[in-house]
């Protein structure tokens, strides 16, 4: 349940790759030597580790099309636990090297194998693997913030904080916690409130007005093909985020999610570890099961004792009968022109009040657009600066008919440049929709302000909100081949 070493690598545009931080846990290494016996492989020095990792991740020799050790079809890197083949006098295989990467950072750690090393044990028998993943993910968020935007200076200052952060979260190779995001909470005065214990995940105590904020966000994804042979797909998942400022060492709060009378049950529910207890009925509905209409459909009660920082109380998926916007997209190639025809239809159950709604039509791997002779029935049409993308802004509302259309011709000439995307070539093309609808959910799920209960002396202020946003919402050209297998499978 420990890790032998930890590395943080930054890569800028593939070229400048370097180890920015590393830490070896010598006492764990000492145990590794005893546990592995004759199959022990020492952790090589930094430069070797870097080279081996890049090869395994397929990032070495970026300018060569084929490198045997990197690209052999027999070899399947078993992410997230890679094996590094160490050469030289200390020959052997380092396994399981956990690696996660995001943006400019690659984080890696090598968990201790605390079961007999031969034959190779399954990953699932090593608790250190999931612990290592949790630690790496925590460090990643600490270094990059929740977005993945590389922020040079911020990164440098956070890297400089790592030694003291590791002293708290992983002093001797045993991960204890993930780094705190904000500044460390001011040390609290020891409480004299009897013998109630302060949770280890709570860094301090709140003093002042009690406020509970519960925000429900649903995300909808879709793949629409407009074809008989292919079933359109869509799915919805929701997240309940909370920020609770409540007094007390271990205050009790209860949030209740409820569905409309005929709503389909929430599925695949995952809860934050601060939830104190769960009713078994909450966990029964699952998206991989045959849907059972008689299944439990709420109200979903989540009793918990909140940490100080904002957290994700629970998440779920839901099966809704129709997608919020149904589209059709047709392209016809004629001479040097492309005939475009698009219809988007808002489903009547969806509130016609958007924060934004935009359709993007990329035309990659082609010459630049020269003449765009396209009419839209509603909204505003723009061409991107690079002349390979149409942006159709629909604004805050669909018209009364709930339907908008685009019709016209585009011709292409001029130098080819801009992005090339193998998913968007010739008639293999798509529209991607971006929208956000405040104060609604597709599943109908809601958190009533009055259903939030806080068991404490002061009466808290309670704020609830909900919204729907789109992600990966594709409408494929129905006259071309969508690069997706047909068949009865899910998104």
Partner 1 sequence: MATNWAERISAFSRSPTRFLSGTTAEAFLAELLRELRDDRASYSVKVLLLSPLCEHPTLLCPSDSVGEETTLELMSVFAQCPPKFVGFRCHLLLALTSVLICTSCASGRSRASQDFLDLLLQIIQDPSDLHSDGSLRSLCATACDCLRELEACCPGLLSQRIELLGGLRQQETSRLHQPYAALQTLVLRNAVFQLTQEKGAGAEHLKALLGGITSVAWEADQDSGLMNNKDSAVLSSLILGNMGVVPTLQTGPDCKELRSVLSSLLEESYLLTPLCQAALLHRLTEVVAMVPSIPPAIFRAQLLRLLGTSEVCLLHSTLLMKCAYTDSLFSAEDEAFILKRLVVLSQHPRLTAPEKLFYMDCILHFPENRPIDSGDESLPVLLTPQLASALAPTVLNDSATLLSRFNLLSLVHLEEGEEAEEGQGLEYLYEHLTSLLHIVENGGSREIVVTFFRAVFLFLFYFHHVERYSTGLTEQLCKLYLHHTHLAPHLINLADQTQDKLSESNWAVGLLTALQKAITSLTQLSVKDVKWHLKMLARVAEEGEIPQRNTLSFLSKVITPSFSSLCESGDWRQGNNVLGVCRRLLVHPSLDSLLIPLADILQHLARCYRDTDIQDHARLYYTLLTTLSREKLAGVMMQGTTEGGRQVKKRSLSSCMSEGEELTSLLTIHQTEKAIFRLTEAQSEPRQQSKDVDLDQDEAENCPEEANAALEVYRAQFSDPSFASEVTLKYQLAHTNGHDSRFDHLFSIRLHFGHTDNHYEKLPDISVSCLFRERPSPVVQLRLKPRQPYPTTLHATAIFTTQDGLSWHTAVPDIHIAFEQTFMPLPSPRTWGQDGKLSAFEGLWEEMCTEKGESAISLFCCQLEEAALNALVRKHFLSYLVSDPSQKEELKVLFFLPPQCHILLKIRSKEDAVHFNIATDNWQLLPHIGSYLLTITAAQEDPPS
Looking only at residues 175 through 234 of this chain, which bind partner 1 when binding is defined by CB under 8 A? 175-178, 187-188, 190-191, 195-203, 219, 221
Query: Which CB sits closer to partner 1, 80 or 263?
Result: 80
Q: CA 239, CA 229: separation in Å to the nearest integer? A: 33
Which tokens in the block code for residue 369? 């657009």
| Contact call for residues 305 and 274 (beta carbons, < 8 A) | yes
For partner 1, how many residues bind (rule: CB under 8 A)? 128
- 389-393 and 356-362 as β-strands: parallel, antiparallel, unpaired? antiparallel
Q: Among residue numbers 6 through 25, which ones bind partner 1 (CB under 8 A)?
A: 19, 22-25
Query: Which CB sits closer to partner 1, 74 or 457?
Result: 74
Report, in Å, the least distance between residue 164 CB and partner 1. Answer: 6
| DSSP label of 37 | G
Report, in Å, the least distance between residue 147 CB and partner 1. Answer: 15
What residues have CB less than 8 Å from 111, skipping those under 6 apart?
Answer: 2, 3, 4, 96, 98, 126, 128, 129, 131, 132
Q: Tell me which residue has tokens 């990059």.
A: 144
**x-marked contacts with partner 1 along 150-169 as a string, rule CB under 8 A:** -------------xx--xx-
Rg (alpha carbons) of the chain, rounded to whole number: 27
**x-marked contacts with partner 1 along 408-427 as a string, rule CB under 8 A:** ------------x-xx-xx-
Q: Among residue numbers 36 through 75, which ones bind partner 1 (CB under 8 A)?
A: 37, 45-47, 58, 65-66, 68, 70-75
Query: Which CB sits closer to partner 1, 191 or 456?
Result: 191
Query: Which CB sits closer to partner 1, 75 or 461?
Result: 75
Among 137, 180, 215, 440, binds partner 1 (CB under 8 A): 137
Q: Among residue numbers 341 through 380, which ones bind partner 1 (CB under 8 A)?
A: 365
Report, in Å, the least distance between residue 353 CB and partner 1. Answer: 25
Query: Which CB sits closer to partner 1, 228 or 450?
Result: 228
Report, in Å, the least distance between residue 359 CB and partner 1. Answer: 19
DSSP symbols for 300-323: EEEEE---SS-EEEEEEEE--SS-
Report, in Å, the least distance between residue 324 CB and partner 1. Answer: 17
**x-marked contacts with partner 1 along 79-108 as a string, rule CB under 8 A:** xxx----------------xxx--------
| DSSP label of 240 | E
How far are the Cα atoms of 201, 299, 412 from residue 337, in angstroms, in the given order? 62, 55, 7
Q: CA 433, CA 184: separation in Å to the nearest integer? A: 40
| Contact call for residues 24 and 5 (beta carbons, < 8 A) | yes
Greatest CA separation for the chain: 83
Helix orientation angle between 127-144 and 152-169, rounded to the nearest 10 degrees: 140
Does the footprint of partner 1 cover residue 239 (CB under 8 A)?
Answer: yes
Q: Which residues pair with 454 in a beta bridge?
A: 253
Cα–chain-centroid distance for residue 296? 28
Query: Which CB sits closer to partner 1, 283 or 393?
Result: 283
| Contact call for residues 259 and 340 (beta carbons, < 8 A) | no
Q: Among residue numbers 242 through 271, which ones bind partner 1 (CB under 8 A)?
A: 249, 267-271
Which tokens in the block code for residue 297? 């459909």
Report, in Å, the least distance between residue 288 CB and partner 1. Answer: 5
Query: Which CB sits closer to partner 1, 23 or 243?
Result: 23
**x-marked contacts with partner 1 along 428-447 as a string, rule CB under 8 A:** x-------------------
Query: Which CB sits closer to partner 1, 79 or 449?
Result: 79
């Amino acid at each position: 349940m420990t890790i032998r070493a930890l590395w943080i690598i930054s890569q800028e545009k593939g070229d400048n790759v370097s180890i920015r931080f590393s830490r070896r846990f010598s006492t764990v290494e000492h145990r590794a030597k005893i546990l592995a016996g004759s199959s022990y492989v020492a952790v090589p020095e930094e430069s070797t580790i870097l080279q081996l990792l890049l090869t395994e991740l397929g990032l070495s020799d970026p300018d060569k099309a084929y490198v045997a050790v990197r690209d052999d079809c027999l070899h399947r890197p078993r992410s997230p636990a890679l094996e590094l083949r160490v050469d030289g006098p200390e020959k052997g295989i380092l396994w399981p090297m956990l690696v996660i990467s995001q943006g400019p950072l690659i984080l890696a750690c090598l968990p201790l194998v605390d079961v007999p090393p031969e034959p190779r044990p399954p990953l699932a028998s090593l608790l250190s693997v999931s612990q290592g993943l949790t630690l790496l993910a925590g460090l990643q968020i600490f270094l990059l913030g929740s977005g993945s935007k590389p922020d040079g200076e911020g990164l440098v200052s956070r890297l400089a904080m790592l030694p003291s952060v590791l002293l708290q979260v992983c002093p001797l190779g045993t991960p204890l916690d993930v780094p705190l995001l904000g500044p460390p909470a001011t040390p609290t005065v020891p409480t004299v409130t009897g013998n109630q214990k302060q949770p280890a995940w709570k860094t301090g105590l709140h003093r002042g007005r009690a406020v509970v904020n519960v925000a429900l966000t649903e995300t909808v994804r879709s793949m629409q093909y407009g074809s008989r042979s292919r079933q359109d797909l869509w799915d919805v998942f929701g997240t309940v985020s909370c920020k609770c400022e409540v007094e007390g060492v271990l205050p009790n709060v209860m949030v209740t999610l409820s569905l409309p009378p005929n709503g389909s049950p929430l599925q695949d529910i995952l809860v934050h570890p601060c939830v104190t207890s769960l009713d078994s009925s909450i966990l029964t509905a699952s998206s991989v099961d045959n849907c059972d209409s008689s299944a439990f459909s709420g109200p979903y009660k989540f009793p918990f004792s909140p940490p100080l920082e904002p957290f994700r109380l629970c998440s779920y998926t839901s099966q809704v009968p129709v997608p919020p916007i149904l589209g059709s997209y047709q392209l016809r190639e004629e001479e040097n022109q492309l005939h475009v025809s698009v219809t988007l239809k808002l489903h009547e159950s969806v509130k016609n009040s958007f924060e934004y709604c935009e359709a993007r039509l990329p035309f990659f791997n082609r010459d630049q657009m020269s003449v765009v002779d396209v009419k839209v029935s509603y909204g505003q049409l723009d061409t991107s600066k690079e002349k390979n993308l149409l942006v159709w802004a629909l604004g805050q509302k669909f018209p009364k008919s709930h339907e908008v259309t685009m019709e016209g011709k585009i011709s292409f000439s001029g130098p080819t440049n801009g992005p090339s995307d193998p998913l968007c070539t010739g008639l293999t093309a798509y529209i991607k929709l971006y929208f956000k609808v405040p104060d609604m959910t597709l599943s109908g799920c809601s958190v009533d302000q009055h259903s939030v209960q806080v068991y404490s002396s002061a009466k808290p202020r309670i704020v609830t909100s909900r919204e729907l946003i789109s992600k990966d919402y594709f409408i494929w050209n129905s006259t071309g081949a969508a690069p997706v297998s047909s068949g009865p499978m899910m998104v």
